[in-house]
């Protein structure tokens, strides 16, 4: 049951073979047995989860079931949920019990899904290893010496370890896809503007996008059906006709042109990742796809561009944490300004402070044109590269991460090395394109490898079809780390 | 471009983050690394490129000028560090 797909779980619930309360209890038990070792969750609240499960059981009994009714979903601790501690991985919000629901939470509540807990994450989603969390690092369930990736590391770990059937994440520069790759699960960042940012604690607002993390593309499609939708409370929410993201899953691939960016395959990728990605591409050839060489010449600039734009937006977004209205406040201070400074010095961790300082600097007088404006211009060049590439292909494929998961502590003192691990994922955020990662095998030390699939705007259904068809002929997405299901 | 410890202190002050001498030096070393990466941007000629501030070309939506929020100050202030008589308390600003 812990390894079942969302569809299988829904069927069992509908046929009354199991109740949502029983299902929730089973996953909570599994969470409690594994979490002391893996640290994937910051908060679990059995009472609140079981209360939701009881409501779900009533919905099912009265014939009002939605495909996700009664199914436990873990929520990244960046989503505000009424009555739940919502920390964003930070000391700054270590006492913040949210008085309201994020749109994403609201939508899951409406369909009767069960919030089974809040997952660990890099502080304010700033990190690629989950090591910047105030609540301590998450471990990779495939190898507990390794990082799970970040920033949605808790969600990725929880799905990989089968502590939950599905989870949410957010992705500003790769924070859904990179941990999905490193933990051997599937994850998708939709087109910017599809999932409401209301109640999703802001990092870099022009890049942040929520999305689902689960075992398979089919599960992602079911989750996206819930998460996507217009919300007037998010000024960048897109008003579009609603889509059924499962509609194309079973279609054959047909004429599929896969673009392989020559820059991605030229250098930078480790050998084990390269061979797993090449094997996946060979599988797509067997499925009838044709390969096209494309070029994304400005892609290598996406890291410097990102490390100007994201910190700039973050420095502005995080100015709200001042110790006045909610969250942490320093205990000793002399005057108002001292209160701000001590609160922020004590409440933020080193990486968050670093990014606030970078952002403040690039936006400060005399530097704006050289950094912020230049970065915005390059952002357009990066987005244009994709527009050109999509004239020749339907999707672009490559590795999600240049290497398999690194060891805990290996890069935590070297921010620059850490930043470089997001080389393949950042460009999709800058362009606002949908992008996903699916598991395609294992590399060194038997650590998972992810395949990155970037689609054109609003092509999520096609991308999920492409991923699903691969998952029909392979079983990487069904593999779970050994030894997890024995009682501990 | 070279950053100095004074730059770090100035920016920390702008960001309202207290920073001591040792931290400033540490941060300086890390920021210098990051800025050497960022400098790569300067090699590209972007003179005719329109800056892209957002992923979607969209016009700011307008809404009716009507009240949509209810008064929830008691709920919201229940999680504030210090409140009195419906007001958020901070150290005295004006003598």
* pLDDT tens digits, one per residue of A181-214: 999 999 999 999 999 999 999 999 999 999 999 9
All residues of chain B having their beta carbon less than 8 Å from the beta carbon of residue A305 are 41
What residue numbers bound the domain in which A192 lies? 1-488
Statement: residue A249 has pLDDT above 70: yes
Is residue A94 among the annotated active site residues?
no
What pLDDT is stored for residue A398 in this prediction? Answer: 97
Q: What is the average pLDDT across A41-57?
A: 98
Q: What is the average pLDDT across A449-476?
A: 98
What pLDDT is stored for residue A413 in this prediction? Answer: 79
Counting residues of chain A whose pLDDT is more than 90, the rounded percentage is: 93
A304: nearest CB among B33, B41, B79: B41
All residues of chain B having their beta carbon less than 8 Å from the beta carbon of residue A339 are 90-91
Number of domains making up chain A: 1
Q: Cβ–Cβ of B17/A334 closer than 8 Å?
A: no
Q: Cα torsion for A402, A408, A412, A414, to the nearest 10°? A: -50
Statement: residue B77 has pLDDT above 60: yes
Distances (CA, A) of A119 to A75, A135, A170, A297: 6, 10, 12, 37
b vs e for A100-115, b when ≥16 Cβ sit within 10 Å of the residue's Cβ? bbbbbbbbbbebbbbb
Q: Cβ–Cβ of B52/A376 closer than 8 Å?
A: yes
CATH number for the domain spanning A274: value is 3.90.1300.10
Q: What is the average pLDDT across A76-97?
A: 98
* Alpha-helix residue ranges (DSSP H) falling in A212-251: 217-227
Q: What is the average pLDDT across B61-88?
A: 94
Q: Cβ–Cβ of B11/A364 closer than 8 Å?
A: yes
Q: Cα torsion for A78, A83, A84, A90, to the nearest 10°? A: 60
Active-site pick, A20, A49, A76, A412: A76
CA distance A428 to A27: 34
Using DSSP's 3-state secondary structure scheme, residue A274 falls into: helix
CA distance A108 to A86: 17
Is residue A118 among the annotated active site residues?
no
In contact, A117 and A49? CB cutoff 8 Å: yes
Statement: residue A139 has pLDDT above 60: yes
Secondary structure E strands in A400-479: 435-442, 448-455
The contacts of residue B30 (CB under 8 Å, 6+ apart) are A354, A415
Looking at CA atoms only, how far is residue A141 from chain B in angstroms?
31
What pLDDT is stored for residue A170 in this prediction? Answer: 98
pTM of the model: 0.97
**Phi and psi for A258 in degrees, rounded to 5?**
-100, 120
Question: ipTM of the assembly?
Answer: 0.95
Pick the CATH number of B5-43 from 1.10.287, 1.10.20, 2.40.128, 2.40.420: 1.10.20
Q: Cβ–Cβ of B81/A324 closer than 8 Å?
A: yes
Q: Cβ–Cβ of A344/B44 closer than 8 Å?
A: no
CA distance A218 to B77: 43
* pLDDT tens digits, one per residue of A342-388: 999 999 999 999 999 999 999 998 889 999 999 999 999 999 999 99
Statement: residue A485 has pLDDT above 80: no
What pLDDT is stored for residue B1 in this prediction? Answer: 64
What pLDDT is stored for residue A268 in this prediction? Answer: 82
Is residue A76 among the annotated active site residues?
yes
Using CA of residue A387, residue A393, residue A395, residue A401, what is the dihedral sign? negative
User: By CB neighbour count within 10 A (0-12 exposed, 13-18 middle, 19+ buried), where does B49 fall?
Assistant: middle
All residues of chain A having their beta carbon less than 8 Å from the beta carbon of residue B56 are 192-193, 236, 238, 432
Per the prediction, chain A carries an average pLDDT of: 96
Statement: residue A39 has pLDDT above 50: yes
Q: Which of A162, A170, A211 is nearest to A40 (CA)?
A: A162
Domain boundaries, given as residue ranges, for chain B: 5-43
């Amino acid at each position: 049951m812990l390894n079942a797909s969302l569809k299988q779980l829904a069927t069992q619930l509908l046929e009354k073979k199991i109740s949502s309360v029983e299902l929730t209890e089973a996953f909570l038990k599994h969470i409690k047995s594994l979490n002391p070792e893996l640290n994937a969750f910051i908060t679990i609240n059995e009472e609140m989860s079981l209360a939701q499960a009881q409501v779900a059981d009533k919905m099912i009994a009265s014939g009002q079931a939605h495909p996700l009714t009664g199914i436990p979903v873990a929520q990244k601790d960046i989503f505000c949920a009424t009555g739940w501690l919502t920390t964003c991985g930070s000391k700054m919000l270590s006492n913040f019990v949210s008085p309201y629901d994020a749109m994403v939470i609201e939508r899951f509540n409406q369909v009767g899904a069960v919030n089974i807990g809040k997952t660990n994450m890099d502080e304010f989603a700033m990190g690629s290893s989950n090591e910047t969390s105030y609540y301590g690092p998450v471990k990779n369930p495939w190898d507990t010496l390794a990082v799970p990736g970040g920033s949605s590391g808790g969600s990725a770990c929880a799905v990989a370890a089968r502590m939950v059937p599905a989870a949410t994440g957010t992705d500003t520069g790769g924070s859904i896809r990179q941990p999905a790759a490193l933990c051997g699960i599937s994850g998708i960042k939709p087109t910017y503007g599809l999932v409401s940012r209301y109640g999703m604690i802001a990092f870099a607002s022009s890049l942040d996008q929520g999305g689902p993390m689960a075992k398979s593309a089919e599960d992602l499609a079911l989750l996206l059906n819930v998460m996507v939708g217009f919300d007037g409370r998010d000024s960048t929410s897109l008003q579009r006709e609603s889509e059924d993201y499962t509609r194309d899953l079973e279609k054959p691939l047909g004429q599929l042109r896969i673009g392989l960016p020559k820059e991605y395959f030229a250098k930078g990728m480790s050998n084990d990742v390269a061979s797993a990605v090449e094997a996946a591409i060979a599988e797509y050839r067997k499925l009838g796809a044709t390969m096209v060489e494309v070029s994304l010449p400005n892609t290598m600039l996406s890291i410097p561009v990102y490390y100007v734009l994201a910190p700039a937006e973050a420095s502005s977004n995080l100015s709200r944490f001042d110790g006045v209205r909610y969250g942490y406040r320093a205990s000793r201070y002399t005057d108002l300004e001292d209160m701000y400074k001590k609160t922020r010095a004590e409440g933020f961790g080193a990486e968050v402070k670093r990014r606030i300082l970078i952002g403040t600097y690039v936006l400060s007088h005399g530097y704006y044109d050289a950094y912020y404006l230049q970065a915005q211009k390059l952002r357009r060049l990066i987005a244009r590269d994709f527009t050109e590439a999509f004239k020749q292909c339907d999707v672009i494929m490559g590795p999600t991460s240049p290497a398999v998961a690194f060891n805990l502590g290996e890069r935590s003192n070297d921010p620059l090395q850490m930043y470089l691990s997001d080389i393949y994922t950042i460009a999709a955020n800058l362009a606002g394109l949908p992008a996903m990662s699916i598991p395609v095998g294992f590399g060194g030390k038997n650590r998972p490898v992810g395949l990155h699939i970037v689609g054109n705007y609003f092509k999520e259904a096609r991308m999920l079809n492409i991923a699903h068809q691969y998952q029909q002929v392979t079983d990487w997405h069904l593999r779970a780390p050994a030894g997890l299901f024995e009682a501990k | 471009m070279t950053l100095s410890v004074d730059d770090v202190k100035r920016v920390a002050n702008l960001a309202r983050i207290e920073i001591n001498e040792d931290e400033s030096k540490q941060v300086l070393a890390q920021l210098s690394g990051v800025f050497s990466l960022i400098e790569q941007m300067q090699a590209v000629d972007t003179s005719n490129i329109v800056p892209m501030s957002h992923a979607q070309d969209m016009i700011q939506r307008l809404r009716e000028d009507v009240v949509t929020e209810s008064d929830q100050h008691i709920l919201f202030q229940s999680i504030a560090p210090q409140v009195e008589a419906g007001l958020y308390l901070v150290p005295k600003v004006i003598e």
